[in-house]
Amino acid sequence: MTEVRHRTVAANGINIHIAEQGSGPLVLLLHGFPELWYSWRHQLPALAAAGFHGVAPDVRGYGQTDAPYPIEAYSMREMTADAVGILDAIGVEQAVVVGHDWGAPMAWHCALLYPERFPAVIALSVPFAPRSSAMPPTQAFKRIFGDNFFYILYFQEPGVAEAELEADVRRSMLLSLSNLSGGARSSEALTPRRRASTMFGDRMPPSSLPEWLSQEDLDCYVREFQRTGFRGGLNRYRNMDRDWAELAELQGAKVQQPALFIAGEQDPVLSFTRLESMTPYVPHLKTVLLPGCGHWTQQERPSEVNREIVEFLHGLPIWSQ
């Protein structure tokens, strides 16, 4: 089997670093926050072994990919245009798009905005959320959570979350990766809570790593975020209201492609999202919930996730077209 290859491609006006492995039909893997292409390290060899060409970029603002400074450079239109630009740079017409965490909404929107380029979609952790006609997302969050701390609202003011997370990158990454894992004692960083003004407060990181995370893995994340900071990733959150305004044409839109959703039963994201809301809007959906798994789905349970992804890919009618 070939090893993971790295290169930089020009796409949508920026330089995007990609890691790739295998040959065959293209599978585009989009990571979330705070992650890197490295989050798909277990999926790239599995896809290659199954006869696919896996491509995992550092998405815009992360790792070795360009990080434009303007907040609006991280709108959903830009993020999905990056995905299409990667396909163009590689020279392929279509790919199955896979996304985890923020990569999941990117994948859902790739399917909505470019159905001819993305004939199937796989999302991990974050369900499809139909556009609300009532109000922009941050207004809705303020109404729902009131005076409670909610991490998405905390991320809105430029520089605030950056100062906390970048003060000690190793601590920030260890708390993020540990607290949202399956079996973690606390997921307070993600869930609403009272009387808090920072993401992690004075909590100490755990004395040992989660079973799925090695010291080498942690060092990889720490090294890159110490170099780049967190602004690029945080800017994605700061475009939620802009996306709501710019993508008004998606009101009531359905994902008509074959779709697979995988999540951990202990993922705190599921505590404030609704799986059942997907049903009318994703009519060709298969859902898989992994017992005991937390938020870092494909890293915590690589064998189960790989099996589900490969089975789904092999069952797609698009390969026979």
3-state secondary structure 212-229: CCCHHHHHHHHHHHHHHC
pLDDT band at 321 (very low <50, low <70, confident <90, very high): very low
Q: For residue 52, what are the domain limits?
A: 5-320
Scan for tokens 């808090």, then name that residue. Answer: 196
Scan for tokens 């599978």, then name that residue. Answer: 27
Residues near 174 by Cβ (< 8 Å), separated by ≥ 6?
205, 206, 209, 218
318 vs 6, more confident:
6
* Amino acid 277: pLDDT: 85
One-letter identity of residue 198 = T
pLDDT at 229 over 50: yes
One-letter identity of residue 268 = P
Residues near 246 by Cβ (< 8 Å), separated by ≥ 6?
75, 76, 77
Report the distance separating Cα 97 and Cα 265, nearest Å.
23
pLDDT at 319 over 80: no
* Amino acid 272: pLDDT: 78
pLDDT band at 52 (very low <50, low <70, confident <90, very high): very high
Interval 252-286: pLDDT, tens: 999 999 999 999 999 999 887 788 889 999 999 99
* Amino acid 266: pLDDT: 93
Mean pLDDT (the chain, rounded): 93
Is 120 within 8 Å of 257 (Cβ atoms)? Answer: yes
Average pLDDT of the segment spanning 290-314: 97
* Amino acid 289: pLDDT: 97
Among residues 166, 163, 152, which one has the least CA distance to residue 235? 152
Other C-beta atoms within 10 Å of 220: how many? 17
Half-sphere exposure of 273 (CA within 13 A, CB side): 19
Percent share of the chain, pLDDT over 70: 95
Structure-token pair, residue 183? 């079996």
pLDDT band at 148 (very low <50, low <70, confident <90, very high): confident
Q: Which of 58, 101, 217, 267 is catalytic?
A: 101
pLDDT at 187 over 70: no
pLDDT at 238 over 80: yes
Scan for tokens 């798009």, then name that residue. Answer: 97
- β-strands 53-57, 26-30 pairing: parallel
pLDDT band at 195 (very low <50, low <70, confident <90, very high): low
* Amino acid 202: pLDDT: 81
Q: What is the CATH number of the domain that holds 166?
A: 3.40.50.1820
* Amino acid 190: pLDDT: 56
pLDDT band at 243 (very low <50, low <70, confident <90, very high): very high
Is there a catalytic annotation at residue 314? no
Is 284 within 8 Å of 119 (Cβ atoms)? Answer: no
Total domains in the chain come to 1
* Amino acid 186: pLDDT: 52
At 96, which helix (H) or strand (E)?
A: strand 96-100
Is 59 within 8 Å of 39 (Cβ atoms)? Answer: no
Is there a catalytic annotation at residue 101? yes
pLDDT at 293 over 60: yes
